[in-house]
Amino acid sequence: MVYRNNSVDTQIDVTKNIVVIEKLNKSFLFNRKKRLILSNINFNIKEGEFICLLGPSGCGKSTLLDMLGGFTFPDSGNVIVNNKLVKKPGPERGFVFQKNSLIPWLTLEENVGYGLKLKNESTLLIKENVDRFMRLVGLENYSNLYPHQLSGGMQQRGCIIRSLINNPKILLMDEPFGAVDAQTRTLLQEMLLEIWRKVGTTIIFVTHDIDEAILLADRIFIMGVNPGHIKEIVKVNISRPRTFKTSLDPEFQVSKIKILESIREETLKIIK
Amino acid sequence: MVVSFIPKIANQKQSTKKQTLLLYELIKNYSLSFSRKLISLLIFFGVWHFLCTIDFNFGINFVFVPTPIEVINAFFQFINDSPLIHIKASILRVIGGFITGSIFGIILGLFIGSSKLVEDLVSTPLELLRPIPAVAWIPLAILMFPDAESGMYYITFVGAFYPILISTQKAVESTLSDRLMIRVGQSLGANQLHLFTDIVIPSSLPGISAGLVIGMGNAWFCLVTAEIIAGRFGIGYKTWESYVISEYPPIVMGMILIGLLGSLSSFLVLKFTNSLMPWREISKNGL
């Protein structure tokens, strides 16, 4: 990876890495005092990978995702997605937020089609695509409802396909299933895996739920605290397709214990 | 509430029996609420009549206050005596002031709320003029405008303009302070213009709507003030004139008429703005 000049794309070596983060540091001002949030983050993510960022609250995992989304910027270092330096938010990097973020004054259908409407696509094409994606997540009967008429799980499914319809290079997900109940969450996780298998987008998924991370990810980036850093990268070797039964897999238990120990150390640091 | 939800989804699955039950429930609730409102009105008029008949005079003097019946008589006299010319004149003045106030208030509010530059440039003089009551504008309204009519429009405009301006500005500011919807728009590829038309404006509509309702009320507030400079017509003029010639029942009649027309028009504004926001879920029982 040779990175020279952010204004000339051609000088960047084309690699299979869809995401490259190099020597990233980020600090915030707290009561006029600078506090380091993320320190010396380096990692690469290959195209099509499913990555989970796992860590206790306050480790900076959401901030890292925000920087990939282009909502905030590092103090130093580079955030490169698809060989381009991230400078602002854009549809090529889909973002699914933690809170329900369907636009309240648009119906579900209008929400899902909003990205295509912004590209001035024809009504027919928008309709076709919206229908296809709605069927993919089983929302086809709810197109004309407003967000407040939908359940939390339906809303998050809507948010996911609203991002995917733009055909993004990566999908960034910030604890998207944090607010739904446990049963729905399992179903949503399976559904997400199914969509990922069909669409093949690279996914970066932030969570603090260890089981969720093991079920979903190819690799889990475990983050440490004070300041936030990548503590360990754990490869999950459980075969796919994975379902709710995967949690009974011996490999699952092995990974879980390993990760628990690693995370426990960090959580203790916060409590003390 | 669920009511908006039921007709769309659950309709097919519900038996007709359940539907009639639901309808019955709705009617029961409405009639209950209606009878409560009726009772409150009756009590209001009853207390008023009672205080007049006993010539209540303890701190507040009811001796010169006409009874509800005298006011009703005055009302019928007013009805028999070409009322439309007064009502029409007043309504036109209120609506004229309200519409110009809405246009200026909403446009300026949107810009002041979303741009620091515009705020710095225009908000200081506007804030200086804001606390000035409508009455204080009368001399200038007479001097500045070519005729009494446009002076009156100006005074109702002043009344409507400020609440609309401030509500719009605050609504925009609160939309911008909660970044979530802005971020959603950005991550889906919206540019500045899209963010403004698709996110900021709809999200500010509830606030703007509140401003319009208050603005409409304020325009009626200012009507009597405005019609002090009227030559001949208007409900406010009629009220003021009756005071000048010491004829008391028409004063109260004029007050009530203004109250009625004011609440009716506020209600219409509310209905209209609510129809622009079908996405909203309002449930007062869910507190």
CB < 8 Å to B9, chain A: 145
* pLDDT higher than 80, residue B4: no
Same domain flag for B30 and B115 = no
The residue out of B13, B31, B61 marking a domain boundary is B61
- Number of Cβ within 10 Å of residue A2's Cβ equals 7
Q: Which helix (H) or strand (E) holds B60?
A: strand B60-61
Tokens 């001035």 belong to A120
- Of the residues A62, A97, A105, the best mutation for testing chain B's interface (the one with the most B CB atoms within 10 Å of its CB) is A105
On whether residue B214 sits in a domain, the answer given is: yes
- Of the residues A66, A68, A73, A103, the best mutation for testing chain B's interface (the one with the most B CB atoms within 10 Å of its CB) is A103
The residue out of B16, B32, B61 marking a domain boundary is B61
Inter-chain residue contact B188 with A166, CB threshold 8 Å? yes
Per-residue model confidence (pLDDT) at position A16: 78
On whether residue B6 sits in a domain, the answer given is: yes
**Residues of A (207-226) whose Cβ lies below 8 Å from B:** none
Same domain flag for B90 and B202 = yes
> Are B269 and B216 within 8 A, CB to CB?
yes
Q: Which sign, positive or negative, has the C-alpha torsion B97, B99, B105, B108?
A: negative
Inter-chain residue contact A146 with B278, CB threshold 8 Å? yes
> Are B203 and B214 within 8 A, CB to CB?
no
What band does A177 get if pLDDT is binned at 50, 70 and 90?
Answer: very high
- Mean of the pLDDT values across residues B3-12? 45
Instruction: Outline where DSSP puts E strands in A73-174.
Output: 76-81, 84-85, 93-96, 170-174
Q: Which of B183, B184, B202 sits opposite A105 (nearest CB)?
A: B202
On whether residue B158 sits in a domain, the answer given is: yes
> Are B262 and B95 within 8 A, CB to CB?
no
> Are B164 and B106 within 8 A, CB to CB?
yes
Domain that holds residue B54: 2-61
- Mean of the pLDDT values across residues B65-89? 90
Same domain flag for B159 and B234 = yes
CB < 8 Å to B277, chain A: 105
Inter-chain residue contact A163 with B187, CB threshold 8 Å? yes
CB < 8 Å to A148, chain B: 279-281
Q: What is the mean pLDDT of chain B?
A: 88
Percent of chain A with pLDDT over 90: 71
What band does B10 get if pLDDT is binned at 50, 70 and 90?
Answer: very low
Q: What's the pLDDT tens digit per position in B47-74? A: 999 999 998 888 889 888 899 999 999 9
Same domain flag for B103 and B243 = yes
Per-residue model confidence (pLDDT) at position A269: 81
CB < 8 Å to A160, chain B: none
Strand bridging mode A93-96 / A170-174: parallel
Check whether the bond before A241 is cis (ω within 30° of 0). Answer: yes
What band does A270 get if pLDDT is binned at 50, 70 and 90?
Answer: confident
Tell me how far apart the alpha carbons of residues B118 and B195 are, in angstroms, rounded to a whole number. Answer: 18
Helical H segments across A27-84, by residue range? 61-69
Same domain flag for B113 and B164 = yes
Same domain flag for B244 and B269 = yes
Same domain flag for B19 and B94 = no
* pLDDT higher than 90, residue A126: yes
Q: What is the pTM of this model?
A: 0.80
* pLDDT higher than 60, residue A15: no
- The answer to whether residue A94 neighbours chain B at the CB level (below 8 Å) is yes
Per-residue model confidence (pLDDT) at position A7: 41
SS3 B198: helix
Helical H segments across chain A, by residue range? 61-69, 108-118, 123-136, 152-164, 182-199, 210-216, 250-271
- Mean of the pLDDT values across residues B2-10? 44
On whether residue B283 sits in a domain, the answer given is: no
Inter-chain residue contact A106 with B277, CB threshold 8 Å? no
Per-residue model confidence (pLDDT) at position B5: 42
> Are A267 and A210 within 8 A, CB to CB?
no
Tell me how far apart the alpha carbons of residues A53 and A55 are, in angstroms, rounded to a whole number. Answer: 7
Same domain flag for B53 and B141 = no
Calculate the alpha carbon distances from B221 to B66, B159, B226 in Å.
22, 8, 9
Go through B41-60 and write b for each residue having 16 or more CB atoms within 10 A of its CB, e for each that does not: eeeeeeebeebbeeeeeeee
Q: Which helix (H) or strand (E) holds B9?
A: helix B6-9
Same domain flag for B125 and B240 = yes
Tell me how far apart the alpha carbons of residues B267 and B278 are, in angstroms, rounded to a whole number. Answer: 17
On whether residue B281 sits in a domain, the answer given is: no
Same domain flag for B52 and B181 = no
Same domain flag for B44 and B93 = no
Strand bridging mode A50-54 / A202-207: parallel
Across A128-132, B181-185, B283-287, least confident range:
B283-287
Q: What is the mean pLDDT of chain A?
A: 89
CB < 8 Å to B205, chain A: 105
The values of phi and psi at residue A54, to 5°, are: -120, 135
Q: Which of A70, A99, A115 sits opposite B180 (nearest CB)?
A: A99
- The answer to whether residue B287 neighbours chain A at the CB level (below 8 Å) is no
Per-residue model confidence (pLDDT) at position A10: 39
On whether residue B145 sits in a domain, the answer given is: yes
The residue out of B61, B86, B108 marking a domain boundary is B61
Inter-chain residue contact A149 with B188, CB threshold 8 Å? no
- The answer to whether residue B203 neighbours chain A at the CB level (below 8 Å) is yes
Rounded to the nearest angstrom, the gap between the alpha carbon of residue B148 and the centroid of all alpha carbons in its chain is: 24
On whether residue B285 sits in a domain, the answer given is: no
On whether residue B282 sits in a domain, the answer given is: no
Across B18-22, B88-92, B198-202, least confident range:
B18-22
Check which CATH number belongs to the domain holding B140 and give it: 1.10.3720.10
Q: What's the pLDDT tens digit per position in B202-228? A: 999 999 999 999 999 999 989 888 888
Inter-chain residue contact B183 with A114, CB threshold 8 Å? no
- Number of Cβ within 10 Å of residue A182's Cβ equals 7
CB < 8 Å to A88, chain B: 186
How are the residues of chain B apportioned to helix, strand and coil, as percentages rounded to the nearest 5? 80, 0, 20
Name the residue type at position B116: K
* pLDDT higher than 70, residue B23: yes
Q: Which of B259, B261, B273 is nearest to B95 (CA)?
A: B261
Q: How many domains does chain B have?
A: 2
Same domain flag for B93 and B40 = no
